[in-house]
Amino acid sequence: MTTQPASDSVHDIHDHYFGAMLSYPDNADALVRELLPAETVATLTSDPPQPVDTTHIDQELRDHTSDKLFWI
């Protein structure tokens, strides 16, 4: 039985999909507003979340530790 390389794993596919989807602030805004409790959403402004630049110390770990980060 052969195993798939890590880059072809379901986890990587999922990460790449959500990474691409969340590259658009309007998509991130919709997700945040859908998933947070109504009391929290009521405190948010109408401005979409702003992406925060993330700098990585170790390029080898970039795909394993990088997530999207937004200022809301």
pLDDT > 80? residue 67? no
Q: How are the residues of the chain apportioned to helix, strand and coil, as percentages rounded to the nearest 5?
A: 50, 5, 45
Q: Provide the greatest CA pair distance for the chain.
A: 53
Q: With cut-offs at 50, 70 and 90, classify the pLDDT of residue 63.
A: low
Domain locations along the chain: 8-71
Are β-strands 70-71 and 50-51 bridged in parallel, bridged antiparallel, or unpaired? antiparallel
d(CA 48, CA 61): 29
pLDDT at position 35 is: 94
* Sign of the alpha-carbon torsion through 49, 20, 30, 41: negative
Structure pTM? 0.62
Q: With cut-offs at 50, 70 and 90, classify the pLDDT of residue 57.
A: low
pLDDT at position 62 is: 65
- Average pLDDT of the residues in 20-42: 92
Q: With cut-offs at 50, 70 and 90, classify the pLDDT of residue 29.
A: very high
